[in-house]
Amino acid sequence: MDYENVCTTVFTPVEYGCVGLSEEDAMERYGVGEINVYHKEFTPLEWGLSPHRQGRQCYTKVIVEKSSDKVVGIHFLGPEAGEVMQGYGVAMKKGMTFTELIETVGIHPTSSEEIVTLSVTKASGADASAGGC
């Protein structure tokens, strides 16, 4: 059994799910300058109607090994994180690249589509807040 790409979810009020390596483990394995971390803050569409949930309370990031473009980790903090990760887990087991990920058409309006629209890296220092539809 290969346990590296097993999806994990923590069922808290805002769920957290991940598959693959953490950012720290990826830096240790590949080297600090050898990974890209794409990330985004977002508000799920269904939360936009509630004044109590309109802050950017969700976050996703994808960790990519630069030389191969291989996705080595996906992390998601938001509604239905377990369901979101289950779909990406298959792709991770098959060796998905970041190019393949962003060429995937997201299902709108789902929170999972935030993953396939990532373009901002941590290293760029650019604002990782998502815009509206």
Where do the structural domains in the chain lie, given as residue ranges?
8-124
Give the tens place of pLDDT for each residue, 18-72.
999 999 999 999 999 999 999 999 988 878 777 776 666 899 999 999 999 999 9
Catalytic residues: 108
- pLDDT higher than threshold 80 for residue 109: yes
* pLDDT grade for 132, boundaries at 50, 70 and 90: low
Q: Which two tokens stand for residue 108?
A: 């709108």
Q: What is the mean pLDDT of the chain?
A: 91
Distance CA 90, CA 74 (A): 12
Amino acid in the structure at residue 23: E
The CATH architecture of the domain made up of 8-124 is 2-Layer Sandwich (3.30)
Give the predicted TM-score (pTM) of the model. Answer: 0.92
